[in-house]
């Protein structure tokens, strides 16, 4: 799927429901006896994996959660009712333990230079074990990329290559492409300025953008995994409910917090240098810098209603998100 910069992207029509997977012509297992594997289940920003685990358990599914280490987050997943497997997406033996017996997979991984290796491992092992549905967490910038058109972000390229690998694998894949997360720029990277100086200080320029809550993305993923057959082969582009400039997002902050929050556009170079001082890995810094540049170019001025069409509930607005996290924006 392609789109020109700044163009409104409308969702693709869902494919007709089928009870057969396209790669092996075998009937899809519709029972809840097989656990659904959720990778990145102990993830940090937005906690998509953890929310997917909780949502699937609430729907009556068995869930196997893949985590990188035994810690409090792993124990919390057990308390929710998930089976926890400790392993690494770059380790084949870990993946055999995680995938064996599962028919549906959510594949999500944090920003990493090893992203493509992890994708290939998951695809190979999933095919070996006869997985019937794989929901792949990609990102919307991929919709504007192609064999001759990429961005300067190493992570964007890895996401594009990952989608190619999954297509070549022949696995029954659903690609989910969210725009920028509210939990990223607006919460993790913007909360300190809002809390201490009443300003949203970010290098996003003055173009329009439609950030989405990771919780809404998790709702979409859980909905697909609950009944994947109608979605196999589809691409879903996920955005917030409206695309407006960051000044308007700052006004939503003001209304939600009851005090005036102003947006201050900051230069990318000193902003990324501060991230470096805080110990942020260079791979992630490069990715965030490119995202900031794309924002200023209007490349995130995109809006779809895929979240509503898939879940029956609209995506969370910026104001609703800020109210939900008001304590983190308040001194």
Question: How do the domains of the chain map onto residue ranges?
Answer: 36-178+213-239+303-312
Task: State residue 174's pLDDT score.
Answer: 98
Band of pLDDT at residue 149, cut at 50, 70 and 90: confident
Q: How far apart are CA 61 and CA 219, in angstroms?
A: 15
Burial class from Cβ neighbours inside 10 Å (0-12, 13-18, 19+) for residue 285 reads middle
Distance from C-alpha of 197 to C-alpha of 135, rounded to nearest angstrom:
40
**What is the distance between the alpha carbons of residues 36 and 62, in angstroms, rounded to a whole number?**
6
Task: Supply the pLDDT for residue 13.
Answer: 35
The predicted pLDDT at position 28 comes to 52
CATH of domain 36-178+213-239+303-312: 3.40.50.720
What is the crossing angle of helices 282-296 and 268-277, to 10°?
160
Q: What is the pLDDT of residues 155-166, one digit of tens each?
A: 999 999 999 999
How confident is the model at residue 110, as a pLDDT? 86
Strand, helix or coil for residue 161: helix
Average pLDDT over residues 196-219: 96
**pLDDT score for 111:** 86
Residue range 222-253, pLDDT digits in tens: 999 999 999 999 999 999 999 999 999 999 99
pLDDT tens, position by position, 21-38? 334 444 454 456 899 999
**pLDDT at residue 19, as a whole number:** 33
Whether residue 172 has pLDDT greater than 90: yes
Q: What is the pTM of this model?
A: 0.88
Q: Does 5 have pLDDT greater than 60?
A: no
Three-class secondary structure assignment of 24-52: CCCECCCCCCCCEEECCCCCCHHHHHHHH
The pLDDT score that the predictor gives to residue 121 is: 97
| pLDDT of amino acid 294 | 93
Residue 89 CA to residue 46 CA, distance in Å, equals 20
Question: Is there a contact between 266 and 201 (Cβ–Cβ < 8 Å)?
Answer: yes
Q: How far is residue 159 from each of residues 143, 156, 184, 226, measured CA to CA in Å? A: 11, 5, 18, 24
pLDDT tens across 277-304, in order? 989 999 999 999 999 999 999 999 999 9
| Poorest-pLDDT segment among 2-16, 80-94, 187-201 | 2-16
Distance, in Å, from the CA atom of 53 to the CA atom of 130, rounded to the nearest integer, reads 22
What are the structure tokens assigned to 204, written together?
A: 């996003």
């Amino acid at each position: 799927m392609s789109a020109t910069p700044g163009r409104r992207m409308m969702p693709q029509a869902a494919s007709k429901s089928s009870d057969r997977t396209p790669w092996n012509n075998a009937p899809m297992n519709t029972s809840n006896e097989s656990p659904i594997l959720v990778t990145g289940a102990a993830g940090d920003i937005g906690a998509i994996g953890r929310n997917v685990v909780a949502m699937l358990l609430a729907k009556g599914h068995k869930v196997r959660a893949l985590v990188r280490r035994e810690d409090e987050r792993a124990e919390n997943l057990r308390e929710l009712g998930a089976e926890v497997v400790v392993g690494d997406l770059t380790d084949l033996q870990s993946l055999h333990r995680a995938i064996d017996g599962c028919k549906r997979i959510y594949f999500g991984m944090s920003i990493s230079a090893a992203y493509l290796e992890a994708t290939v491992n998951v695809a190979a092992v999933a095919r070996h074990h006869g997985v019937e549905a794989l929901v792949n967490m990609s990102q919307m910038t991929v919709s504007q990329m192609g064999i001759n058109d990429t961005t300067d972000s190493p992570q964007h390229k890895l996401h594009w290559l990952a989608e190619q690998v999954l297509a070549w694998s022949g696995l029954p894949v659903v690609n989910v492409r969210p725009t920028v997360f509210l939990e990223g720029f607006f919460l993790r990277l913007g909360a300190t300025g809002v809390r201490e100086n009443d300003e949203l200080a970010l290098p996003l320029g003055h173009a329009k953008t439609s950030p989405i809550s990771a919780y809404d993305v998790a709702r979409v993923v859980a909905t697909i995994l609950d009944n994947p057959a109608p979605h196999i082969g589809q691409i879903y582009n996920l955005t917030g409910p409206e695309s407006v400039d960051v000044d308007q997002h700052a006004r939503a902050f003001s209304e939600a917090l009851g005090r005036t929050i102003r947006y201050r556009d900051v230069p990318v170079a000193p902003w990324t240098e501060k991230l470096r001082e805080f110990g942020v890995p260079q791979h992630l810094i490069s990715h965030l810098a490119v995202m900031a540049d794309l924002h200023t170019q209007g490349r995130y001025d995109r809006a779809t209603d895929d979240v509503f069409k898939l879940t029956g509930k609209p995506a969370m607005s910026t104001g609703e998100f800020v109210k939900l996290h008001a304590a983190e924006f308040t001194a």
